[in-house]
Amino acid sequence: MRRAACPGSFDPVTNGHIDIIARASTLFDEVVVAVGVNAAKKRLFTPEERIDMLGEACAGFANVRIDSFDGLLTDFCRQHDVVAIVKGLRAVTDFDYELQMAQMNSSLADIETVFVPTSPEYSFLASSLVKEVATFGGDVSALLPAFVHEQLVRRLSERGQGSR
């Protein structure tokens, strides 16, 4: 059994995340989507909301499950017999930071990082940008599963932001 982790904040999950998770699920026997729940970081959605949205978004993948972690990703990988961390690379601008994290993680534990190039249609997609555009009323409905978009619009409207 070769198990991989797809770590991230997923605040919220986008179609770009789902593309990477789907492709990781064809490369490994099992994929654990590991939601970082660092309480120090301010998020739009709670860890439970992010986990629930991921569960619904990944329901069609038989070998994908959702979990969360607080602390070092390498500790989570050790505890769950994860042999590889899968990260999407959108552009060369992602590379420096991702390489640094991959090398740090491999210095902390016996773990490989596998970089998967983002599909071109998602190369500009980031949760932070989606939230920013939606906050100012931009239409991001094509970039997220419909039910995630609904939750995003609802959350922003609770805060008096967004308009679509």
Task: Give the binding site for ligand PNS (CB under 6 A).
Answer: 7-9, 36, 72-73, 101, 104-105
Q: How far apart are alpha carbons 76 and 67 in whole angstroms?
A: 10
Is 127 a residue of the active site?
yes
Residue pair 81/3 in contact by the 8 Å Cβ criterion: yes
In the complex, the smallest distance separating the C-beta of residue 149 from ligand PNS, rounded to whole angstroms, is 19
C-beta closer to ligand PNS: residue 16 or 162? 16
Among residues 17, 50, 87, 149, which one is catalytic?
Answer: 17
User: Which tokens belong to 56?
Assistant: 């619904």
User: Which tokens belong to 39?
Assistant: 């309480």
Is 3 a residue of the active site?
no
Q: How far apart are alpha carbons 52 and 127 in whole angstroms?
A: 16
Among residues 43, 127, 131, 149, which one is catalytic?
Answer: 127
Is 80 a residue of the active site?
no
Amino acid at 1: M
C-beta closer to ligand PNS: residue 151 or 160? 151
